[in-house]
Amino acid sequence: MGRFKLTIEYEGTRFNGWQFQKNQPTVQGKIMEACREVFNTDNFELYGAGRTDAGVHALFQVAHLDVKTMLAPHIIRMKINDLLPADICILNVEKVSSNFHARHDAVSRSYVYHISKRRTAFGKKLVWWIKDELDARKMGQAAELFEGMNDFRSFGNDDPDEKSTKVKIDKCHIYESETSILIHIVGSHFLWKMVRRMVGVLVEVGRGRITLDKVSLFLNKDSKEPAKYTAPPSGLYLEKVYYKGDKIEEEPLYVLNL
């Protein structure tokens, strides 16, 4: 068996998330179907660096593939891509040590959330259009409260795989242009639905409905309220998965002018 690191982008709108599910279209499921045909075997394993929810996109998702093959990495990439739908693309395949693990070796991850300030004919599946005027400066002040080590139990869903609700957020910045607001978040890991609830709370701050003191309260007391503000999956992108030695990007890698 050889181990290969796959870097993958996908537009998640029509998939029920990353993780394989029987009788549901998923990104992992589609890649597994392609692998079955390319390698003519069921004897392979594909592990993702993390799950993304239904409708969430990825710019640089990472997975590792264990399979017995003589094919070169660039041939594997080409053959799998030939069998994938247009909304999934293998960007790169490289041979790695059998010790490499896409999920366990990840040291941090980054997400970008795209809010559109205008109605767009092209980007409904790719952004969250908000009609209300948002105060990006206030959102930036609230975003700073998320940085550092905090208990995000108010922002996550119950997940038996998570042993702790404490998460270290290295960066949570707001970028504003004439037509968009981007929220760039880099952290050690993320709880299920945590990013979408962070975004939803920041939007409520931008609308003037939630104060900075209340955001602090969410981080100090268990509250069900952030769940009410969960942002739609359409604007969320898993931006990058970082491993030991990788340089964390200062600015968002994502660019979409809509």
Q: What are the residue ranges in the chain where pLDDT is below 70?
A: 158-162, 255-258
Q: What is the pLDDT of residue 6?
A: 98
Q: What is the pLDDT of residue 122?
A: 83
Q: Which two tokens stand for residue 66?
A: 């264990």
Backbone phi and psi for residue 57, each to the nearest 5 degrees, phi listed first? -105, 170
Work out the number of other CB atoms within 10 angstroms of the CB of residue 82: 10
Q: What is the pLDDT of residue 99?
A: 96
Which domains are assigned to the chain? Answer: 2-96 (3.30.70.580), 107-243 (3.30.70.660)
Q: What is the pLDDT of residue 163?
A: 72
Q: Which of 53, 66, 135, 170 is catalytic?
A: 53
Mark whether 42 is an active-site residue. Answer: no
Could you give the CA distance from residue 34 to residue 40 in angstroms, rounded to a whole number?
10
Q: What is the pLDDT of residue 258?
A: 53
Could you give the CA distance from residue 234 to residue 72 in angstroms, rounded to a whole number?
35
